[in-house]
Amino acid sequence: MLIAVPVVVLACGAAAAAMRRLGQTAVVGEILVGILLGPSLLGWLWPAGSRWLLPGEVLPYLGVLGNLGLLVFMFLVGLELDVGLLRGRGRAVVVVSQASVWIPLGLGSLLALAMYGSFAPEGVGRAEFVLFVAVAMSVTAFPVLARILKDQGLYGTPVGALAMACAAVADVVAWCLLALVVAMAHPLGGGGGGGSAWGTVGMGVLAGVFLAGMW
């Protein structure tokens, strides 16, 4: 941990500075570092070095740290969002967010139908595979969008607030669809996977109650 975390942080900082010089946002460099230090490049070119830098027993702890950092970042993003900038823009939020979900969803479905025969794992039904790929195409990288808006100084502007609101609505729809995919893959009450589906439904209900209480 004491080696992996500093290496990742320093590499992300260097890549972010390089990307800014090229006119890109810092998050582009950080994503690039994730690809370079992951199995896609380092693990492919130098497996021993990859295992030394990021051994399997360390990865779960890095994941926990990363998720905690992401939670804090998204909390601050929500805390700083000026909802007053969205007054009178509700219709635009609905139209843009739904278009950003359903158009990629439709195109992803067509792609998945063509991919099913060659890429679907054994035992996975056509409907589940098509829905999974389609939903994956329609989910917004919400934290990445927030980082880009902040880096570009657009977060506190009407355009930035509109983009964040659209992404939030689109993500709610997409994650609900993903819960549907999970329920289809593991039918309620079915052997083995029923608990997962019931857990998804239960968490959805609790989230709805929480949102109603906060409102």
Residue 174, burial from CB neighbour count under 10 angstroms (0-12, 13-18, 19+): buried
SS3 at position 64: helix
Residue 189, pLDDT above cutoff 70:
no
At 189, which helix (H) or strand (E)? none
SS3 at position 3: coil
pLDDT tens, 60-79? Answer: 999 999 999 988 988 888 88
Q: Is 123 left (phi over 0), alpha (psi -120 to 50) or beta?
A: left
Say if CB 185 and CB 116 are below 8 A apart: no
List the domain boundaries for the chain.
Answer: 4-80, 87-214
Helix, strand, coil % over all residues of the chain, rounded to 5: 80, 0, 20
Q: How confident is the model at residue 26 (pLDDT cuts 50, 70, 90)?
A: very high
Residue 44, pLDDT above cutoff 60:
yes
Q: What percent of the chain has pLDDT over 90?
A: 35
